[in-house]
Structure 1
Amino acid sequence: MPRPRPPPGFITIGDGLYTSLARTSSTPASSTRFSVTRICPRVILIFGWMGAHLRHLQNYTRSYTELYPNATQILVKCDPSFLWSSESAKQRRLLPVVEALGTLGCLPPKPDSVEGKQGLLTGARPRVLVHAFSNGGSTQLTVLGRLLSTKYPSPIPPPQVINALVLDSCPAAGNVSTIKTAFSIAIRNRAKLYFVLALIYIAHAIRLALSQVFGKQMMIMEYLKLQLFKPRILPWMAASTPRLYIFSKGDVLVPWKEVLEHAEASKEKGLNVHCEMFEESGHVAHMRQDPKRYWRSVQDIWDTACRHVEDQNAA
């Protein structure tokens, strides 16, 4: 089956993986919907929700192009099959993302290279904004984190990278009912859906039994929540990295109380947590309901990251 065409302005770098080419000059703020901040991200890493079509994700890539016109965007789609693939298969699929991040200067040189022997990250300081949607997108985020941790076991000093994390409609373990609803939306073929659901129910029952012995980390979504508690999900992240949770009381797939509990627990663990709670928007539909508020909150979290690094440098 031929690969789908990439969104306008993007090129394909892998299976469901795309990157844009940054513009060479900034678009004046007066010609965009949004005001452009003084310090903008150089790289925006977007993890789509499970089953999201490119036309849906383009609503975000287009807005990011207007908000931060000179940033390079890396877009990662989430096919339902990703969730039941083996860990090694998941990591192999994301290798082109690692290569792109390295090319864009977001990762330290390899230890055996000349640059690696001289020190970390020569040249311009990377500025990275990560945006993950739903459990599917945040699962891919944590897989990338595990892949990078094997390649770059030593953390990058936080002042070296200005960065922020946006978690839209996640994380939450939910229950069998919400899992069924999520896959019913993502998989339109009924025969394939019933087959997948049967496998999920079997796996859920097995993991539930194992969790009674080995702990709740045996449950896939509970494991995801534990992974997102890590200060260093990606090599350049730290406890000081601003994290924005965007969620809604109207989300029937991801219970808002569960997201809020994760945010509050993260804050208790010393993470830099911010929340934007909507009242009526559905799952991954907060931007559609109130785009001005949505993008203002994203821009605010990025500005927070910039101010934090400026304060560190001034100290």
Structure 2
Amino acid sequence: MDTQTLDTGPLRELIHIPKTPCYLYPVQLSEQATNIPRNRKNPELILLCSWTDAAPRNIMKYMHAYRNLYPTSPILLVRTSSSDFFFNSERALQRRLQPAIKIIRAHLEDEPSGGSNQGFLAHVLSNGGSGHLTCLARQYRATTGHPLPVDVLILDSTPTRARFKSILAGLSVALPSPFWIRFPMRVLLMILVFLAYVIPRLLGLRTMADRVCDDLISLETLDSSGRKSREWLRKEAVRSYIYSEADDICLAKDIVPHIEEAARRGMPIRNELWIGSGHVAHMKLDPERY
């Protein structure tokens, strides 16, 4: 697998896999790191799927937090951009994510899953991050015939089904601040969101947001129409929901039904309702609790 290290910018500590949104933060082979005993609480692999168009400096705050917490665990980063959802087909995105599947398999397939350790910890932020996770899960299932072997899943400010206002607000966060640039770009976003999410709803079709919500808690069952659904992520994975009433992009009232449905299906749940933290801003509000 061809890799290259970024020499400049906030992501310079990571190894970038060319032509993909994937980066690897390998274990630091320093004397300090090698002297730390590997214990059962250190994941074999950590997967971080960032929110849409997240700034590199903000991504590195999470990477450094995990490096400090688990110094002997490699971290796989998958970045998310607006173009992934508007200008790339799911099949094209799966091709770009194929190197991530190889990394996951290389780190996990010799390790038993479902034990008392946290073999595979996945952390997704906002609907963009959870979208990439489910895309990875589908690709993993197609490659191996098994659900993605996640042991612990942290769902930060996600998932929610499509709301025009919420999706537009989330995608607008990263737009440039000058009005003469921001306004036309926001108008373009409004058109794209309307075409990708509103029109399908009016036609009675499932949107990508609907599919992501379903995939996160999907089981091997037959629905009322006889259509078989797949278990994309292990049912036994502990799903930890972190969300806030103050989030005006992924609303708490939209996340709660997903939590309730996951619990109804017998999935282990941790319900972490925060007070006063905005969208993907929980760590900023209270790093110790996070």
**Fold agreement, TM-score > 0.5:** yes
Q: 1:174 to 1:255 in 2, by over 3 A?
A: farther
Are residue 163 (structure 1) and residue 151 (structure 2) matched? yes
Task: Indicate conservation of the 8 Å contact 1:181/1:253, yes or no.
Answer: yes
Match of 1:128 among 120, 124, 135: 120
1:157-306 correspondence runs (5 A): 163-188=151-176, 189-190=181-182, 191-211=184-204, 218-230=206-218, 237-294=233-290
Does the Cα contact within 8 Å between 1:169 and 1:283 map onto a contact in 2? yes
Higher mean C-alpha deviation, range 169-178 or range 44-53 = 169-178
- Secondary structure of the residue aligned to 2:213 is helix
CA distance in 2, matches of 1:275, 1:126: 19
Kindly indicate whether residue 95 of structure 2 is the aligned counterpart of residue 102 of structure 1.
no
Structure 1 counterpart of 2:155, one-letter code? L
| Residues 21-46 of structure 1: per-residue CA shift (max 9 Å, x gap) | 11347958xx9xxxx97521021000
In structure 1, C-alpha distance between the alignment counterparts of 2:169 and 2:213, rounded to whole Å: 20
> Residue 75 of structure 1 aligns to a residue in which SS?
strand
TM-score with structure 1 setting the length = 0.75
Unaligned runs of 5+ in 1: 109-119, 295-315
Aligned amino acid, residue 72 of structure 2: N
The change in CA–CA distance for 1:10 and 1:151 in structure 2 (over 3 A counts) is: same
1:89 equivalent in alignment to 2:92: yes
Identity %: 29
Instruction: Map Cα deviations across residues 6-59 of structure 1 (whole Å, 9 max, x no partner).
Output: 62431101433210111347958xx9xxxx975210210000000101100111
Structure-2-length-normalised TM-score: 0.81
Partner residue in 2 for 1:137: 129
Letter in 2 for 1:163: D
C-alpha contact 2:196 2:207 (8 A) present in aligned 1: no
For the 8 Å contact 2:240–2:269, the answer to whether it is kept is yes
State the Cα distance separating 1:183 from its structure 2 match.
1.4
C-alpha distance in 2, partners of 1:45/1:281? 23
User: Residue 162 of structure 1: CA displacement?
Assistant: 7.4
| SS state at 1:292 partner | coil
For the aligned residue pairs, the C-alpha RMSD in angstroms reads 2.9
Alignment partner, residue 11 of structure 2: 7
* Distance in 2 of aligned mates of 1:196 and 1:107: 41
Alpha-carbon separation, structure 2, partners of 1:96 and 1:126: 22
Structure 2: distance between partners of 1:277 and 1:136: 20
Q: Is the 8 A contact 1:16 1:76 kept in 2?
A: yes
How many residue pairs were aligned? 262
Alpha-carbon shift at residue 192 of structure 1 (Å): 3.5
Per-residue CA deviation, residues 135-181 of structure 1 (Å, 9 max, x unaligned), is 0000000001111111111458xxxx672110000001252111111
Report the CA distance between 1:208 and its aligned residue: 1.4
